[in-house]
């Protein structure tokens, strides 16, 4: 009886100790999460983006000026594209060998730059003064504080699970689940680093263009029909060709001399026969 009572007291003490340890773990987790929520909530994660479209006098010079301005402000050019396209083209023939080609073409460019967020307003003002006029200007601010906090809390939960797994408090039997857990840790870290970079550097899209430009150039005439002989040369060629045809005809007839002789003989025979038959027909 005494032994059963002692065993019951020991078992009750052990259950209380386990419950106390579990409560301490949950309290520590709750305190860690709450502390992280308070810490992350103190600083807003505001992502600022902007876009501007404007007309300039010279696209190439403006591109060089913007690149230099970005470098001066501690930014970086992420994308830069300049494109020219011909809208109209006309050829004026100068002589048989060359023509003057008059082309009308348009040039435009687009750039994507990253500038420190504290210098965005100054950068946009400077760029807008480079153009003749601004066709469109836009700025957006997105608050990613909750996205950042969500990723951070998920990251802490996964880190806590990994720590428990290493300490032997949690056993994960599936190796694939462990790899997925580690991949999730990397994804959450990269996500927050990306947000931090977006908060620190603003992405600005620029589009600018210039008026159509006329360009004249003398090029080789690539039309084969333009390379013809003069009128006098063609007349002489015609006379020569006619004489050659006549000569070829005579030569061809000479090649048929045997047939011609036979034809003459047959004609003579027929003629004599008609002469001989004519008196007979008269007598009758």
Query: Would 107 be classed as within a structural domain?
Result: yes
- Residue 77, Ramachandran bin (φ over 0: left; ψ between -120 and 50: alpha; else beta): beta
Residues paired with residue 111 on neighbouring β-strands, in sequence order: 80, 206
242 by DSSP, 3-state: which?
A: helix
Confidence tier at 132 by pLDDT (50, 70, 90): very high
Length of the chain: 284
Q: Is residue 232 part of a domain?
A: no
Split at pLDDT 50, 70, 90, the class of 186 is confident
Q: Which domain, by its residues, includes 108? A: 44-225
- The C-alpha angle with vertex 25 and arms to 21 and 30, in degrees rounded to 5, equals 145
Please state, in angstroms and as integers, the Cα–Cα distance from residue 171 to each residue in 20, 160, 186, 279, following that order: 21, 13, 21, 145
- Binning pLDDT at 50, 70 and 90, where does residue 3 land? very low
C-alpha radius of gyration, the chain, whole number: 50
Of 38-47, 69-78, 148-157, give the lowest mean pLDDT range. Answer: 38-47
How far CA 208 is from CA of 51, 85, 242, in Å, comes to 11, 15, 67
Cβ atoms of residues 156 and 148 within 8 Å = no
The number of distinct structural domains making up the chain is: 1
Give me the pLDDT at residue 269, please.
Answer: 85
Residues 187/181/149/25 CA torsion (nearest 10 deg): -160
In a domain, 182, yes or no: yes
Please tell me which residue, 205 or 172, carries the higher pLDDT value: 205
Residue with tokens 């020569």: 240
In a domain? residue 240: no
- Closest to 211 in 3D by CA, of 105, 80, 87, 102: 105
Question: Quick check: is 18 in a domain?
Answer: no
Read off the pLDDT of each residue in 245-259 and give the average, rounded to a whole number. 80
Q: How many CB atoms lie within 10 A of CB 247?
A: 10
Band (pLDDT 50/70/90 cuts) for residue 276 is confident
| Average pLDDT of the residues in 249-273 | 81
- The pLDDT confidence band at residue 118, using thresholds 50, 70 and 90, is very high
Buried b (16+ CB within 10 A) or exposed e, 139-157: eeeeebbeebbebbbebbe
Domain membership flag for residue 119: yes
Whether the pLDDT of residue 19 is over 60: the answer is: no
Q: Is residue 134 part of a domain?
A: yes
- Better-scored residue on pLDDT, 15 or 176: 176
Average pLDDT of the segment spanning 130-152: 90
How sure is the predictor about 53, in pLDDT bands with cuts at 50, 70 and 90?
Answer: very high
The band of 26, judged by pLDDT with boundaries at 50, 70 and 90, is very low
Contact yes or no for 103/214 (Cβ under 8 A): yes
Q: What pLDDT, on the 0 to 100 scale, is given for residue 263?
A: 83
Residue with the larger pLDDT of the pair 119 and 170: 119
Percent of the chain at pLDDT exceeding 70? 78
Alpha carbon distance 63, 208 (integer Å): 9
Spatial distance between the Cα atoms of 47 and 195, rounded to a whole number of angstroms: 8
8 Å CB contact between 115 and 50: no
Q: Beta strand pairing status for 213-220 and 98-116?
A: antiparallel
Q: Write the burial class of residue 18 (CB in 10 Å: 0-12 exposed, 13-18 middle, 19+ buried).
A: exposed
Mean pLDDT of the chain: 79
Beta-strand relationship, 201-209 and 46-55? parallel
14 three-state secondary structure: helix
For residue 276, being part of any structural domain is answered with no
**pLDDT at residue 58 tops 90:** yes
Does the global pTM surpass 0.85? no
């Amino acid at each position: 009886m005494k032994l059963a009572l002692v065993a019951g007291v020991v078992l009750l003490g052990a259950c209380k100790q386990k419950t106390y340890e579990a409560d301490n773990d949950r309290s520590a987790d709750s305190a860690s999460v709450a502390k992280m929520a308070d810490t992350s909530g103190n600083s807003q994660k505001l992502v600022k983006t902007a876009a501007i479209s404007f007309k300039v006098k010279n696209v190439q010079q403006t591109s060089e000026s913007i690149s230099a301005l970005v470098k001066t402000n501690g930014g970086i050019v992420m994308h830069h594209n300049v494109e020219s396209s011909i809208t109209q083209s006309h050829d004026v023939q100068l002589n048989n060998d060359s023509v003057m080609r008059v082309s009308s073409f348009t040039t435009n460019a687009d750039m994507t730059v990253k500038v420190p967020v504290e210098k965005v307003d100054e950068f946009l003002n400077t760029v807008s003064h480079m153009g003749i006029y601004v066709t469109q200007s836009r700025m957006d601010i997105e608050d990613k504080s909750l996205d950042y906090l969500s990723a951070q809390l998920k990251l802490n939960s996964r880190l806590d699970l990994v720590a428990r797994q290493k300490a032997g408090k949690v056993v994960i039997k599936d190796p694939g689940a462990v790899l997925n857990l580690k991949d999730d840790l990397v994804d959450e870290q990269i996500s927050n680093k990306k947000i931090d970079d977006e908060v620190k550097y603003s992405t600005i899209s620029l589009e600018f263009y210039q008026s159509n430009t006329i360009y004249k150039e003398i090029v080789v005439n690539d039309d084969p029909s333009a390379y013809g002989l003069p009128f006098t040369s063609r007349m002489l060629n015609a006379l020569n060709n006619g004489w050659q045809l006549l000569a070829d005809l005579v030569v061809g007839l000479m090649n048929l001399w045997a047939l011609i002789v036979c034809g003459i003989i047959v004609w003579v025979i027929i003629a004599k026969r008609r002469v001989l038959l004519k008196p007979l027909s008269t007598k009758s």
